[in-house]
Structure 1
Amino acid sequence: MNEKVFLKVVDNGARAMEEINTLHRQGYLPEDIFVLAHDKDRTEYLAGAADVNTITLEEEGVIKSIANMFRSRGDELRSKLEAMGCTPREAEMHEAELDRGKVIIMARARSATQRIL
């Protein structure tokens, strides 16, 4: 993915919802906002509650998505973060935040009217 991606680490689901609402007000479309938590069920719950996306095959690509089926959760999370534009070092740092129960909100900008914070 070559698009510039906004990424913010928040402390909990309530802060994630606030950040998602802020992104909506700034013009981001629901399909361009992603949520990621360490626990898959939590990720799905937050994405469903906010009507936004999780990082899927479209963002990761077929090979990485299949490989993730055989990886540890930490390796899978780092792979997803890298698919969204993080460097391996950034992905490692953000995955450590996820290990501590934090939530990551990401958004990709598709138009000149959207700004990266």
Structure 2
Amino acid sequence: MKPVVKEYTNDEQLMKDVEELQKMGVAKEDVYVLAHDDDRTERLADNTNANTIGAKETGFKHAVGNIFNKKGDELRNKIHEIGFSEDEAAQFEKRLDEGKVLLFVTDNEKVKAWA
């Protein structure tokens, strides 16, 4: 099953939603943030106690390959590796290009009502 995705323009709202997810019992391992900028992604992950999409999710081979990819390719690969088609990943990457931040939740059972 594909992760649940929410899109944000406001970092504060994202932080509130991650806090709400944690109160619902969603584990940190099931919550991922992704922004176009690596620094913003890391900062949001640290501030919300969420994860980034890294080698654990994409596999070592793809993680190493992403080092040499253009930013758009890297983002699409990360999104694709957590469960979306290449077309869906391209659409999400466009949203990231627009400055949006994406929140992915892989525990679908606990977030049915939230999403």
Aligned-residue identity in percent: 36
Runs of 4+ with >4 A deviation: none
1:31 aligned partner, one-letter code: E
For 1:54, the equivalent position in structure 2 comes to 52
Q: In the aligned structure 1, how far is the partner of 2:92 from the partner of 2:15? A: 19
After TM superposition, give the deviation of residue 51 of structure 1 in Å: 0.9
For 2:29, the equivalent position in structure 1 comes to 31
Question: If the length of structure 1 is used for normalisation, what is the TM-score?
Answer: 0.89
2:101 aligned partner, one-letter code: V
For the pair 1:103 / 2:93, whether they are aligned, the reply is: no
Q: In the aligned structure 2, how far is the partner of 1:40 from the partner of 1:56? A: 11
For the pair 1:22 / 2:20, whether they are aligned, the reply is: yes
| Ranges in structure 2 where 5+ consecutive residues have no aligned partner | none
After TM superposition, give the deviation of residue 27 of structure 1 in Å: 2.0
Aligned alpha-carbon RMSD (Å): 1.5
Q: Secondary structure at the match of 2:105?
A: strand
For 1:82, the equivalent position in structure 2 comes to 80
Bigger mean CA deviation after superposition, 40-49 or 85-94:
85-94
The answer on whether the counterparts of 1:34 and 1:54 sit within 8 Å (CA) in structure 2 is: yes
For 2:64, the equivalent position in structure 1 comes to 66
Question: If the length of structure 2 is used for normalisation, what is the TM-score?
Answer: 0.90
Q: In the aligned structure 2, how far is the partner of 1:80 from the partner of 1:4? A: 13
| Ranges in structure 1 where 5+ consecutive residues have no aligned partner | none
For 2:91, the equivalent position in structure 1 comes to 93
Q: Secondary structure at the match of 1:4?
A: coil
